[in-house]
Structure 1
Amino acid sequence: MKTHILIAEEKGVRLDKWLSQQSADWSRSLVQQWIEEGHVKVNGEETKSNYKIRLNDEVVIEEPEVQELEVKAENLNLDIIYEDKDVLVVNKPRGMVVHPAPGHPSGTLVNGLMYHCEDLSGINGVIRPGIVHRIDKDTSGLLMVAKNDLAHESLVDQLKNKSTKRRYEALVSGVVPHDKGTIDAPIGRDPDDRQKMTVTEHYSREAVTHFHVIERFERYTHVACELETGRTHQIRAHMKYIGFPIIGDPKYGPRKKHEFPIEGQALHAELLGFVHPRTGEEMVFRAPLPEDMKACLTEAKNK
C-alpha cells in the first residue's frame, strides 16, 4: 500500500474533484471509492467526497495495491430474463459474486456475461464490464446489465434520480407490528468493522427503504422492501436497525442462530423496473422466489 501526503494550496474545491486533479492515474470515481472505503483522511479524519478542502489541509491517501486480474469468459448457464442490443436482465443465484476480485477470480457473474455477450459497456473497466449496480453474493435476484455505454449512462442516471424500481423479499426474525413503513436513516461504514455498514450520522449517506408485511408467522415475518436509495447492504443494515434482522445473514443476522435451509441471507431481489435507454419504454421484470427461500418460509410457518 502506497502512502501519499498532500497539502492543499487552494480552498473551496470538493475533495474528490481536487484529488482526481493531483494524478493522471486517479479518476474521480476511483478516489470516491477510496474515500468511501476509508483510505483517505483529511487532517487525520475520514471525511466525505463532497468535503470542501481548505488552505493547508493535510490529505493522506493510503493507495491500495492494484491487483491485476485476468477475467476469463466462462459458460455458467446464466438465467437471462430479458435481452436486447442495449440491456440485459439476469436472475443471479445466491452464492454468486457479481464481479471478479482477489479471492474470487472466476465463477462470477461477469465471467458468465463475457461468455454470453459479445459486447458489454466498458465504463466500469475490464473487471466490471456492463455492471450498473450490484447485489450481494448471498442475495439472489434481478440485476440490469448495460451492453453499451449509452445504456450504461442512462441506467446509472435512473439510479441516481431514484426512478428505478427495486423490490426485494425477505424473511426476518421477529413479528413486525406495522403493516408498512419507511426507514429513513443514513448509512455509513461501521467504525468497528470496515466490512459492515451501520446507521450513523458520521460520514454517512442518505438511505431510504420502504417496507410492507406480506405474511406474519409466530416468530418471523415475510416482508417486501423497496429501495429508494441503493447503499451497500442497505436492506440488511436497515432491518437490523429497526430490530428485525434478516434470517441467515452472517453479518447482520439475529444473535441467536436459527436453523434454516439456506446458505446466506433470506433476501431476494424480486422486482426490477426501469425505462429502456433507447426506446423510452417502461420495463418491469419479476423473478419468483428461489427454492431455498420457499423452504425458509415453510420452515417459518412450522416454528
Structure 2
Amino acid sequence: MQWIVSESEAGQKLVVFLRNKLGPGFSSRQIKQGIENNLCQVNSRLEHFASMVLAKGDVVLYVIESLKSPVKFRFQFSSKDIVYEDASLLIYNKPAGFVSDGPEITQAMESYSQGGWELLHRLDRETTGLLMFTRGTAFREKMVYAFKMHAVKKTYFALVDGIPPQMSGTIENYLGKVHTYKGQALWGAVPSKIGHHAITDWVIEQKGSQVCLLRCYPQTGRTHQIRVHLSEMGYPILGDKQYGKKFKCSYLAPRCLLHAYALDFIHPLTGEKIFAKAELPKDFTEALELLVGRVAS
C-alpha cells in the first residue's frame, strides 16, 4: 500500500503514521518488524528506522501481505537438497534464513550419515545456495588448502539495482570493518595496511529496465565481499538492507537476492573434476521474471 504524507501528518514518526494507516489489526511491534525486514520504502528508498520523522509530501510504501500472514520457517534437512556427496565431502543447497554455522544446520549435519561433518566455509543468513561440509581431518586440510590456493572456483548470482555501463569488470580493493548495524560488523573499503585484499570479477548475465542479473566470481573469500563490492560500485543487491542505501527500483525484495550458484574444483582424493550447481530458488526466480522477464539458466 502507498500513501502521501499530508500537512497534518508531517512530523509524525514512521511507525505512528503506519499504525494510523493500517488500523488496529497491526501492532507497533509488528510494524517495526516489517520496517526492519525490508517491507517499507520512503521516497523510493528502503527505510529501516521506525523513528524516522516524516515530512509533507513524503511517499510511504508498505507491503502488508507478509505481515498479515507471517511464516516462521524451521530448518528441515532434506536429502533432495544434497547436490554432491561421497564419504569425505558433502555439498548442500542451503535455504535462506539460516546461519551456516547455526544450531539448526549444525545439528542436522551431526546426525546425518553417521555424523562427523564439519562446515568448510560460510554463507550469510539470507544467501542461498551451495555450502560445503567435509569429514576427516586429512581431507579437510586438503580442501582448506584448495580454497587458500584459489583452486575452488565459486560462482554467484546477484540481482542488483541499476545497470553498469560495461558488460563485465573486476573490483579489487582492501576490506575491513567500518561500521556496525544492529550489533553486526559492516565491511567496506579501507587502506591496504589495515584491510584484507579482496577481488571480485563480474559479468552482466541479463538486463531489465532498472536492474540486472550479475554472475559474480569472487577470487577471495572476505566477509560480505560480493555485497560490499557491488554496493561500493553503486549497484547494491536488491533486498540488502545492510549495504543497500537508496534503490532506484521500487521492488521490495524479501531478502538479499544473492545465490551461491556453483562450485568447480578438482577432488583432492580422486582427481575427479567436480562441478556442483544449485538452481535459483523460487523467490529469486519470481523477482527475476518480474523485473527482467526471464530466468537465468
TM-score of the pair, normalised by structure 2 = 0.68
Between 85-94 and 256-265, report the one with greater CA deviation.
256-265
Asked whether 1:146 is paired with 2:134, we answer yes
Bigger mean CA offset, 257-266 vs 185-194? 257-266
Contact 1:138 1:263 in 2 (8 A): no
Q: 1:12-64 CA deviation, whole Å, 9 max, x = no partner?
A: xxxxxxxxxxxxxxxxxxxxxxxxxxxxxxxxxxxxxxxxxxxxxxxxxxxxx
1:160 corresponds to which of 137, 140, 148: 148
Does 1:178 pair with 2:180? no
1:144-293 residue pairs with structure 2 within 5 A? Answer: 144-191=132-179, 195-201=185-191, 203-256=194-247, 260=251, 262-293=253-284
C-alpha distance in structure 2 between counterparts of 1:114 and 1:91, whole Å: 17
Matched letter for residue 92 of structure 1: K
Q: Displacement of 1:143 after TM fit?
A: 1.3
Q: 1:112 to 1:262 in 2, by over 3 A?
A: farther
Contact 1:83–1:89, Cα closer than 8 Å, also in 2: yes
Q: Give the paired residue count.
A: 215
How far 1:99 moved relative to its partner?
A: 1.2
Structure 2 residue aligned with 1:118: 114
State the match for 2:78 in structure 1: 77
- For 1:266, the aligned partner's letter is L
CA RMSD, Structure 1 to Structure 2 (Å): 1.9
Q: Which of 105, 121, 136 does residue 133 from structure 1 map onto? A: 121
The aligned counterpart of 1:93 is 95
Q: Which amino acid aligns with 1:89?
A: I
User: Where does the alignment leave 5 or more consecutive residues of structure 1 unmatched?
Assistant: 1-73, 101-105, 122-129
Secondary structure of 1:207's aligned partner: strand
* Letter in structure 2 aligned against 1:96: F
Q: Give the conservation status (yes or no) of the 8 Å contact 1:175–1:220.
A: yes
**Local SS of the residue matching 1:112:** helix
| Distance of aligned partners of 1:255 and 1:212 in 2 relative to their CA distance in 1, 3 Å threshold | same
1:95 is aligned with what amino acid?
A: G
- Report the 3-state secondary structure (helix = DSSP H, G, I; strand = E; otherwise coil) of the residue aligned with 1:237: helix
Equivalent in the alignment of 2:45 = none
Distance 1:203 1:117 in 2: 43
Structure 2 alignment gaps of length 5 or more: 1-74
1:183 CA drift (Å): 0.4
Query: 1:258 Cα deviation (Å)?
Result: 5.4
Higher relative CO (CA 8 A, sep ≥ 6), structure 1 or 2? 2
1:195-219 Cα deviation digits (max 9, x unpaired): 1111111621000000000011111
Structure 1 contact 271–287 (Cα < 8 Å) conserved: yes
TM-score by length of structure 1 reads 0.67
Residue aligned with 1:293, SS: helix
> Counterparts of 2:259 and 2:155 in 1: how far apart (Å)?
9
Contact 1:261–1:296, Cα closer than 8 Å, also in 2 = no
